[in-house]
Structure 1
């Protein structure tokens, strides 16, 4: 999606900031009887006050003229029908969809979940689990059966039986046969939310009650709790695990020899490129992506990485389940503050199972907020049309019939929802593999979810009425899109393609496009005074630039940099207070740099050619055309300004 925030003096851009709305707003001016109000003028002025560089735009009389010109352009865009363009409509719809996600939430619950997530992130849990699988849509009987299985296993654990042995015997997690249920260390967002919550609420050494997730019931044993170690970036050299003892001895000898080379001062990255058998990192000098606890498949590797204290520290060779490693610490990253990770956590909360809690809270509020009229008789008729074929994904959406006519739901007296809308929703839910029977119970559950979806949809569709901040942002973006299309059509394209008008404007205003005195020169610079002194000596011997660079820039060490070209007096490329006479200057110090300037030619001030200043001419011509055009718009539309309303808002803003 193109980002079309059009500033044009007003700096009108989409913003997530909120502003108090003046309940006693007054009409500031009318354009063809279309009113524009003091509260919008005040809000936009306040928002852009610190952004504008031109002091004249802070003057309220000047700003009123800019604001009026802006609204005249919007009126012209609507008059031309640009708001009906398919690209405009599609882009506005896409932007609204993205923006509305930030408002379809319960901010209080979201904040609580973010705070909870941060507090959990400060700790790492080492746990093991036993899983008894049961589908999330399983029948009550199957669900109860799985729960009792989990409770029976928990009783054995509480009676003293070894949890690892129980996991090996009973867990239906396929990995339990190998890892005995061990999950290693993990922190927030690494497990599904109900599992994570149970783990953080279980004390060290204890076994939780059965915890239901979408996978089934879990028993969780917490083996350790420690402070979060943060994250690290490391490089490593790895030799693959040998298949027999003889090869194993050879691998061990090789890793020891590589370690000796490192201790003797050989470059770690070069050795990684030559010898590491981790193909994904060897070419990068062994460098791995930044990671935290539980993010790699080797706890041993993580533990060694985190024991290294200072960047550049190198571990002794050690063995993991994958082979032998030597690890070098590149950088350590401590746990960040809540302020630093706030937006990141909010994003994760919205994508996580936690979002269901936010939706549930918002739905509860919407249920209380909006009146819902349900047609029980029509629902009964619709529900009977859903058959047991639904369980096998073989149920087909019935055709609409007269008996299904009418409103199944009416929300807030103005949103009517039909029975067919509900049946279409039911049709989309067949893939969920429902185990609940009879089918009527499934339909009842789906009806509850359907009502929630409809409430959320209704709230979304009415966000402009519900939330003034959202309405302001949408108005600004809507106008910004229109203004972009209008300016492109009326001004920008014309300024680029009207070659005769452009050159005529250049010739009429040539006094604005003048060169300052210039020099054609070579500018030598260095942070090393002795290098610049040598440069000066070589220049006086009439040595070439290439010769000087060859003499002074050796062994990949760049001592001298040369800029060649035409430079105006006062150019940033030149040292301050330098005399620009033909010939070779003395050594000049400016800041931390030393300079020598070889001036080959002086060029007097004079007009720039059209090609030399074309970009600035186009920009100035656009502003000229826009100014003329706004004057024409003032004649095209009927404008009436309420001076009393303006004086009042002016007084309020100047306080």
Structure 2
């Protein structure tokens, strides 16, 4: 029965919220009209999915539609739309449904194309970082920017990027660690491609010409400059396995040579990895490291593994800072075409931080379209040290206006109440962007007809489901007396005389009975007028199609 009502919900979707004064009316229910085009939209939406000729009957579909509208009206009459659970579910669905409208699809397409270029081409770069304190204020930002700019100018004069990186970079890897004996990388990051670095860093690297030094740019870590040393076609990805001896001394060398000797005698690489390897992540998988591209491993490892040209060949023992290795090339994966990678790249872009740029593009467009006013007098509360403690009664002035919508200081304070990781002036900008998007979402039903249709369908369908739960499903399950009375009155149609043996079948019939009585009662209490002339035209229209 539940499946049946859900089918009816799908077939009898609610009508558009946009009135069309010149449209012909097909039916009037309790004074509320449904136009021909509105009903056609409901009817045609699922027409192609129906094979049964009888189920396509226009008159029957109109009757189902009327029943649907009568039920939905009752749901609103008894205020099911005020339930907390309903409001919560609708808020979740509204956010999901509006999400695509908050993305700039043109911008997304370009991000995907950029990601592909940056996948099939690897860039080699070195960088210098000047960090900023958490919750940096404009003064901190300016100091960091000026400092990195001075460093850039110094390198342009002196010409030794690596020496300056060792001296001033606040990325600890540039200097190394004397205690552990780890050498510094002098700012060198090796080759990398898309999604390997934070997006601002990746973009700066690919937008800087080989041999040049970028202008300062900001990431979540602070301000950077970088120098691009090379750009080359990607080597693709490989699948490899290794055996690691966790000892960088001569003892470890003796051990790895012993393993290599066994390999040369045709012993299994997998077996030897499980027996000797000290890498807990790959040991039990026969040393398998999975699929990876260049730049994912330390440079000394990368050089050896990507230097293997034939599948199922292995290297001689070599040393990294982790110990002694033997690596085996299992499989090469060449770079795929854009069409082959488009779907995967699109998903990666959507999940990455760069997708925020698409939302920013929408906000920028909306900012240009809307009349947005920041009320400076009300904004003075941003200068109050303990502004979160200001009494509610003192926060009723308008701090921001978007078209005809006024937002009070109270709303802003509520927004920042548990956000203390950023300065107040930064939080205000985030608040403003959130309010712009909220205003846009609130008005989507007026600007995006398809969104309005779909949202209304879900609202009514969810209410009807709850109403059916109360009127039919719960009643048939809990009303044992009514069920038995129905069974007794209709016992001739059943093969068994014992209710318990065919309870499921009887309950389904009882639900149908309850629904028919309910619909009959709704129709008795309602005024329904079908425009027969328009109905005949519709029937003729679909017969000739």
Q: TM-score by structure 1 length? A: 0.68
* Aligned counterparts of 1:117 and 1:65: Cα–Cα separation in 2: 53
Q: Aligned to 1:124, which of 105, 122, 125?
A: 122
2:223 corresponds in structure 1 to 217
Which is worse superposed, 470-479 or 497-506? 497-506
1:245 to 236, 244, 250: 250
Query: Quick one: structure 1 residues 147 and 324, their matched pair in 2 at CA, closer, same or farther if it must change by over 3 Å?
Result: closer
What is the 5 A alignment of 1:156-555?
Answer: 156=157, 160-161=159-160, 163-177=161-175, 178-234=184-240, 236-257=241-262, 259-260=263-264, 263=266, 266=268, 269-296=270-297, 300-301=301-302, 304=305, 307=308, 313-319=312-318, 321=320, 322=322, 323-327=324-328, 329=330, 332=333, 334-335=335-336, 337-338=338-339, 341-342=342-343, 345=346, 348-349=349-350, 351-355=352-356, 357-372=357-372, 375-376=375-376, 378-379=377-378, 382-383=379-380, 386-387=383-384, 389=385, 396-399=388-391, 405-413=396-404, 415-422=405-412, 431-432=421-422, 443=425, 450-496=431-477, 498=480, 500=484, 508-510=492-494
**Partner SS for 1:454:** helix
Alignment match of 2:527 (pick from 638, 641, 645) = 638
How far off its partner does 1:155 sit? 0.6
Taking the aligned partners of 1:372 and 1:384, their CA distance within structure 2 comes to 19
Bigger drift between 458-467 and 324-333 goes to 324-333
Distance 1:317 1:494, change over 3 A: farther
Corresponding residue SS for 2:10: coil
Worse-matched range after superposition: 103-112 or 335-344:
335-344
Does the alignment pair 1:149 with 2:124?
no
Q: Map Cα deviations across residues 565-623 of structure 1 (whole Å, 9 max, x no partner).
A: xxxxxxxxxxxxxxxxxxxxxxxxxxxxxxxxxxxxxxxxxx99988877666556655
Give 1:73-112 correspondences, 5 Å limit.
73-112=71-110
Greater alpha carbon shift after TM alignment, 217-226 vs 339-348: 339-348
Asked whether the equivalents of residues 375 and 408 of structure 1 are also in contact (C-alpha less than 8 Å), the reply is yes
Matched residue of 1:458: which SS?
helix
CA distance in 1: counterparts of 2:57 and 2:235, whole angstroms: 54
SS in 1 for 2:281: helix
Q: Evaluate the alpha carbon distance shift between residue 145 and residue 206 of structure 1 in structure 2; reply closer, same or farther with a 3 A threshold.
A: closer
State the 1:470 CA deviation: 1.7
Distance 1:121 1:501 in 2: 71
CA distance in 2 between partners of 1:249 and 1:226 (Å): 38
Go from structure 1 to structure 2 and tell me whether the alpha carbon gap of 1:69 and 1:425 turns closer, same or farther (over 3 Å shift). Answer: closer
Distance 1:331 1:317 in 2: 19
Contact 1:195 1:213 in 2 (8 A): yes
For 2:90 and 2:415, the matched residues in 1 are separated by 27
Does the 8 A contact of 1:255 with 1:324 survive in 2? no
The structural deviation recorded for 1:245 is: 0.6
Give the direction of change, closer, same or farther, for the CA distance of 1:631–1:123 in structure 2 (3 Å limit): farther
Deviations 1:404-439 (A, max 9, x none): 6543444322x222234345556666532x5xxxxx
CA 289–81 in structure 1, closer or farther in 2 if over 3 Å, else same: farther
What does the per-residue CA deviation read over 1:35-73, in whole Å, with 9 as the maximum and x for residues that have no partner? 334444333333322333434223333322332333233
**SS state of the match for residue 291, structure 1?**
strand
Offset, 1:397: 3.4
Aligned length: 526
Task: Show structure 1 runs of 5+ residues with no match.
Answer: 435-441, 512-606
Structure scoring higher RCO (CA < 8 A, sep ≥ 6) equals 2
| Structure 1, 499-508 or 147-156: larger mean CA deviation | 499-508
Residues 584-595 of structure 1 aligned to structure 2 (within 5 Å): none
Choose between structure 1 and 2: higher helix proportion: 2
Shift of the alpha carbon at 1:186?
Answer: 2.1
Structure 2 equivalent of residue 525 of structure 1: none
Alignment match, 1:570:
none
Task: Describe the shift of the 1:141–1:337 C-alpha distance in structure 2 as closer, same or farther (beyond 3 A).
Answer: closer
Matched residues in 1 for 2:489 and 2:283: separation? Answer: 61
Structure 2 CA distance for partners of 1:619 and 1:5, relative to 1, 3 Å:
closer
Q: Which has the larger radius of gyration?
A: 1
Does the aligned pair in 2 maintain the 1:232–1:306 contact within 8 Å? Answer: no
Q: SS of the residue aligned with 2:336?
A: coil
Aligned pairs (5 A) from 1:538-617: none
d(CA) in 1 for partners of 2:32, 2:352: 43
Pick which of 463-472 and 109-118 moved more. 109-118
When structure 1 is superposed on structure 2, of 245-254 and 324-333 the one drifting more is 324-333
Q: 3-state SS of the aligned residue for 1:142?
A: helix
Task: Give, in whole Å, the separation in 2 of the partners of 1:361 and 1:293.
Answer: 33
Tell whether the 8 Å contact from 1:242 to 1:251 is kept in structure 2 after alignment. no
Alpha carbons of structure 1 residues 374 and 220: separation in structure 2 relative to 1, 3 Å: closer
C-alpha separation between the residues in 2 aligned to 1:293 and 1:5? 56
Please tell me whether the aligned partners of residues 124 and 228 of structure 1 are also in contact (alpha carbons under 8 angstroms). yes
What secondary structure sits across from 2:282 in the alignment?
helix
- Equivalent-residue separation in structure 2 for 1:13 and 1:110 (angstroms): 35
User: What is the CA-CA distance between 1:482 and the residue it aligns to?
Assistant: 1.6
| SS of 1:242 mapped into structure 2 | coil
